[in-house]
Amino acid sequence: MIESKVAAKGERRMVTGDYAAAWGAMVSRPQVVAAYPITPQTMIIEHLAEFLAAGKLDAELMRVESEHSAMSAVVAAEATGVRTYTATSSQGLALMHEVLFISPPMHLPIVMSVVNRTVAAPLGIWVEHNDTMPQRDTGWMQIYVEDAQEALDMVLQGYRIAEHPEVELPLMTGMDAFLVSHTIESVDLINQEDADAFLPPYKPVHAYLDPDRPLVLGAASPPEYIQESRWETDLRMRRAAEVLEETDRAFGRAFGRTYGGAFETYRLEDADVALMTLGTVTSTAREVVDRLRTQGERVGLIKLRSFRPFPMERLQDATAHLKAFGVYDRAVSYGVGGPSYIEARNALYDTTTMPILGFLAGLGGRDVTPADVELMFKKTLGAVGRGRRASGVHWIGTRGVSP
């Protein structure tokens, strides 16, 4: 986060990430909210229910019977022409999977907060990104946040990106289970007036259900038409990469803090090697970068925020001077490696021959220590000059497995 002093300030309070997300939703003025409880997302909908009961939130709150219905309800409400919000985690997102595909082609800019949690089996409630990353090809944008403030800010930013007339795509934010969702931090709770100034009311252009202007949404289509719909959705996802950057800058002008758009860099400019992280591990990695720098190692960091749209060209430019690159993932595509490692290799194939290493750690919510991150840097440094053959996937901190 990059902060400046001259900007709108809300009330600063000590709250959890879940509270911050709920607050972000509230000040975004959704008109229909539908949700189903799942650990560790529960506090988000509890707080929204409290805001409703206290008269602070003016919305239809649908306490539905499953996540499948939560997503279906917001799809239908958004299709009717109102702003909607939902939140989930883990199995809940997996249950929503079928419904996720509906909104991108239908131009439904839903915003959802996801608390990233392990997907069974084995059952676990701690952080892993194996719930959101498999949703990669549904057409949803995916933004990973690092702390409670970002969880709040990205709901507000999320609507502005999603509802942009050239985007009209749904957006999910991912926050690490417990490390963000349940950790109490000092958060600037944006006030309603400032939120309204940043986010105008939603005006549907392509999706509404109104007897005075009849429209068919979700018609069956023969092959003659579906491919164009796919192309058009792809186009909007590409445009979203630009809108994401513009929106973050606009947010900075309004609130005095920005997040670097699709990714934030740290001591990258003069670095020889860099690590790319996402989520809370980033905070640990900054410390490790500083420590290694004092030891004379020229290391830097990229905090990846936007997994979809994936910042292909920006990443090519940002890494052009590097001699080796490490990519950390908290999810695994079995037999291949971490999802963002795969993305990074794909993005950089045309522009570099440096080694790109994949690191898997913290799966199932295992702590990722400074020593773990240091090992990632050391391995990346060790790969300098060895070319693409030094690329590969390393499991860090796995019992009985040498990294």
Partner 1 sequence: MTTIKELTQEDYFLSGHTACPGCGGAMVVRETMKVLGRNTVVYMPASCLLIFSDMYPYNAFTVPSLQVLFETSAICASGIKRALKRLGKDDVTVVAFAGDGGTADIGMQAISGAAERNEDILYVCYDNEAYMNTGIQRSGTTPFGAWTTTTPLGGTEEGRGKNEFKKDVPRILMAHDVPYVATASLGFPADFLKKVEKAKAKKGFRYLHVLAPCPVGWRAESDSTIDLAKLAVETGIFTLLEFEDGVLTLNREPRFSPVRDYLKLQGRFKHLKDDQIASIEKWIKDKWERDRALAKALGPKPKAPVMVTK
217 binds partner 1 (CB under 8 A): yes
Residues 138-167 that bind partner 1 (CB under 8 A): none
Query: What minimum distance in Å lies between the beta carbon of 220 and partner 1?
Result: 5
Please tell me what DSSP assigns to residue 210.
Answer: B
- Confirm if 130 and 44 have CB atoms less than 8 A apart: no
- CB 34 to partner 1: min, Å: 7
Strand order in the sheet with 392-395: 263-266, 299-304, 273-277, 324-329, 356-360, 392-395
Going residue by residue from 190 to 209, which x/- string records binding to partner 1, judged by CB under 8 A?
A: -------------------x
Residue keyed to tokens 């949700």:
35
User: CA-CA distance, 137 to 139, in Å (whole number)?
Assistant: 6
Q: Is 218 in the site for partner 1 (CB under 8 A)?
A: yes
Inter-CA distances, 55 with 22, 58, 98, Å: 14, 7, 34
- Spell out the residues 6+ positions from residue 62 whose beta carbon is closer than 8 angstroms to its own: 32, 33, 34, 35, 70, 73
Sketch the per residue contact string, 43 through 62, with partner 1: x for CB under 8 A, - otherwise. Answer: ----------------xx-x
Q: How far is the CB of 84 from partner 1 (least distance, A)?
A: 8
- Kindly tell me which residue out of 20, 35, 45, 74 binds partner 1, with binding defined by CB under 8 A: 74
Looking at the Cβ atoms of 102 and 357, the one nearer to partner 1 is 102
Query: From CA 150, how far away is CA 263, in angstroms rounded?
Result: 13
Q: Among 205, 215, 235, 336, which residue sits at the site for partner 1 (rule: CB under 8 A)?
A: 215
Q: Are 167 and 246 in contact (CB under 8 A)?
A: no
User: Considering the rule CB under 8 A, would residue 349 count as an interface residue with partner 1?
Assistant: no
Q: Does 31 bind partner 1 (CB under 8 A)?
A: yes
Task: Supply the DSSP symbol for 250.
Answer: H
Q: Which of 65, 269, 270, 350 binds partner 1 (CB under 8 A)?
A: 65
For partner 1, the binding residue among 54, 123, 219, 401 (CB under 8 A) is: 219
Which residue's CB is nearer to partner 1, number 75 or number 327? 75
Task: By CB under 8 A, name the one of 42, 72, 233, 333 that touches partner 1.
Answer: 72
Q: How many chain residues touch partner 1 (CB under 8 A)?
A: 41
Measured distance CA(83)–CA(33) in Å, rounded: 9
Q: What are the backbone dihedrals phi and psi of residue 390, each rounded to the nearest 5 degrees, phi first?
A: -80, -5
- The stretch near partner 1 (CB under 8 A) out of 41-49, 137-145, 160-168, 215-223 is 215-223
Does 381 interact with partner 1 (rule: CB under 8 A)? no
Q: Return left, alpha or beta for 262; rule: phi > 0 is left, psi -120 to 50 is alpha, else beta.
A: alpha
Binding mask 102-131 for partner 1 (x = CB under 8 A): x-----------------------------
DSSP secondary structure code for residue 342 in this structure:
H
Residues that bind partner 1 (CB under 8 A): 31-32, 34, 59-60, 62-66, 68-69, 72-82, 84, 98-99, 102, 209-211, 213-222, 225
